[in-house]
Copies of this chain bind each other. A is one copy, B any other.
Amino acid sequence: MEQASVRDASAPARVAPAGEGISQEELALAARNHGLPMEALRYEVTPPGLHYVLVHYDIPATGEEDWKLAVRGLVRTPLSLDPAALRGLPAVTHRVTMECAGNGRALLSPRPVSQPWLAEAVGTADWTGVPLRLVLAAAGVRPEAVEAVFTGADHGVERGVEQDYRRSLPVATATGEDSGVLLAYAMNGLPLPPQHGYPLRLVVPGWYGMAHVKWLREITLVDAPYTGFQQSVAYRYRRADEASDAPGEPVTRIAPRALMEPPGFPDFMSRTRIVRPGPVRLRGRAWSGYGAVVRVEVSGDGGRSWTAAEVEPRGPHPWAWQAWTCGWEAAPGRHTLTVRATDATGRGQPLEQPWTWGGFGNNLVQRVPVLCC
């Protein structure tokens, strides 16, 4: 037998044809990772166990005792910061809505085979930590640096490539006053839970989850754009597979989305909602990584007609979702409720699936089946 290699643990990326059920491998990811139960949209700040979680490999066994954050590469003063040193720096708290770039993937047809999210991979938390720009200022970023590369303690194999989870940000984003990038050590006022990156994670407001590197142990300033797996192979908007010539656009900011707290009560298996006839107050949240949500519309007839919802203005938390409400008159029979958001840049949500090879950024409108009786 030829010598085994880590490449033997991986199969090539694959797209499942229409009608092919979810595989046991996809299910194993869905059982580990989890979304926001839609009724938890009622909480402006998501309790940690309800916030979506996506872990590429294993949750690493990180403790505070022997943990250090290294800042190195193109800096004047390399740093090694322990948790006490970080907590000694000025802290801020940002309320941030975070969403997985793969949210909506399992609704696509054909279906990219990966973590099979429907529409629930989202959550909002209060993240407390040190502004990244303060730590980078203390280290002194050299002028030739163009990107900061962030390395997590999670280690695994993905499509044959053994790796620590690693992503980069442009120096302008990493050091910008307005970008709000945080080295966060607390979530909703408590130390990070293990699955959210204990003891330290990156938080990049407005960006999809892949940018918010968890279990962060190293920041390296480099003089050329980082081209590792999670930057150049995964997390690209492509129309064809990774062997094609087209590199695709990088996945960055969160596309607009509105979600509805499903009205009434559910059937266990079908999750169809039961509502009584009469007026129903629909509620939910909407967000965009590009700007404030300025319009939310609801349709009770599958998208033929739309009613404007009342949208809470963007308040003191510019990176958090906004609440919306809308009246609806329920008449006996079956209905499909649909909701869509539009942001200040004019970006909206499609009624037809925006298909990509990796299944990223699918912000297709949510559809909620309701039985009124």
Q: List 18 A-B contacts (CB under 8 A).
A: A4-B371, A6-B373, A9-B270, A10-B267, A11-B269, A22-B22, A22-B24, A22-B26, A25-B270, A27-B116, A39-B61, A47-B193, A49-B196, A50-B193, A57-B265, A58-B265, A157-B265, A157-B267
Minimal Cβ-Cβ distance residue in B for A26: B22
Most chain-B CB neighbours within 10 Å: which of A58, A59, A156, A194? A58
A30 proximal to B (CB < 8 A): yes
Interface 0/1 of A18-44, CB less than 8 Å to B: 001111111111111111011110110
Residues in B with CB closer than 8 Å to A53 are 49
CB proximity of A249 to chain B, nearest CB, Å: 22
Interface 0/1 of A38-75, CB less than 8 Å to B: 11101100011111010111110100000000000000
**Per a CB cutoff under 8 Å, which of B21, B34, B37, B265 touches A23?**
B21
Q: Which 5 A-B pairs have the closest CB atoms?
A: A21-B21, A34-B34, A49-B49, A22-B22, A9-B267
CB proximity of A199 to chain B, nearest CB, Å: 13
Known: A21-B20, A58-B265. A272 touches B9 (CB 8 A): yes
Q: How many residues of A contact B (CB 8 A)?
A: 76
Known: A31-B30, A195-B37. A25 touches B271 (CB 8 A): yes
Q: Is the CB of B31 within 8 A of A32?
A: no
Question: In whole angstroms, how far apart are the Cα atoms of A28 and B30 in the complex?
Answer: 9
Q: Is the CB of B3 within 8 A of A373?
A: yes
Interface 0/1 of A82-122, CB less than 8 Å to B: 00000000000000000000000010000001101110100
